[in-house]
Amino acid sequence: MPQSLSRILVHIIFSTKQRLPLLKDDIHLELRRYMATVLKEHESPAIEIGGVADHVHILCVLSKNYPVCKIVEEAKKSTSKWLKTRGDWLAQFQWQNGYGAFSVSQSHEAEVQRYIQDQKEHHRKMSFQDEFRRFLDKYRVAYDERYVWD
């Protein structure tokens, strides 16, 4: 085959450093737009980006030319620099060191998209930590609780 073709969906989750609730509603829309641009520049177009004050969820099509770690690195690096220019309360902004990345079946794309859109409602009932543990368990990711949070 002379051409490489793929469509791999990835659900990426990461939080602010120490899960500080810095991503207020007024910045979220701009952040999603900016992050979508960064992802597109790295050949991983966003399908949905959302979250709440202390974390984000991204559903994107993974580039065939960049590994997921590079996509996350670029998204976090670029948005962190950008966020620091958006207000005094964000001058020291940082993302957590790690992230979660989970494969998504094409048949579950719409379901994950709705899940990301409903983050505010979802987090009225569940903390980020409980949500993330649930993902790790669901996807059978082995982890040591001592090294998940920063």
Kindly report the pTM of this predicted structure.
Answer: 0.94
Q: What is the mean pLDDT of residues 16-24?
A: 94
Condensed to tens digits (0 to 9), the pLDDT of residues 62-86 reads 999 999 999 999 999 999 999 999 9
List CB contacts of 106: < 8 A, sequence separation 6 or more.
Answer: 7, 9
Crossing angle of helices 25-41 and 68-83, rounded to 10°:
140
CATH of the domain at 18: 3.30.70.1290
Q: Is the pLDDT of residue 35 over 90?
A: yes
Percent of the chain with pLDDT over 90: 85
Domain membership flag for residue 57: yes
Residues in the chain: 150
Residue from 79, 6, 78, 15 nearest 43 by CA: 6
Domain membership flag for residue 146: no
- pLDDT confidence of residue 1: 57
Helices marked H in the chain — which ranges? Answer: 25-41, 68-83, 109-117, 119-122, 128-138
Number of domains in the chain: 1
List CB contacts of 117: < 8 A, sequence separation 6 or more.
Answer: 48, 50
Domain membership flag for residue 1: no
Domain membership flag for residue 49: yes
- Provide the residue range defining the domain that includes 63: 8-141
Q: Is the pLDDT of residue 147 over 70?
A: yes
Residue from 80, 14, 88, 90 nearest 50 by CA: 14
Condensed to tens digits (0 to 9), the pLDDT of residues 81-130 reads 999 999 888 999 999 999 999 999 999 999 999 999 999 998 899 999 99
Domain membership flag for residue 3: no
- pLDDT confidence of residue 138: 94
Question: Please, what is the Cα angle at 76 between 69 and 119, to 5 degrees?
Answer: 100
- pLDDT confidence of residue 146: 86
Domain membership flag for residue 147: no
Spatial distance between the Cα atoms of 120 and 55, rounded to a whole number of angstroms: 11
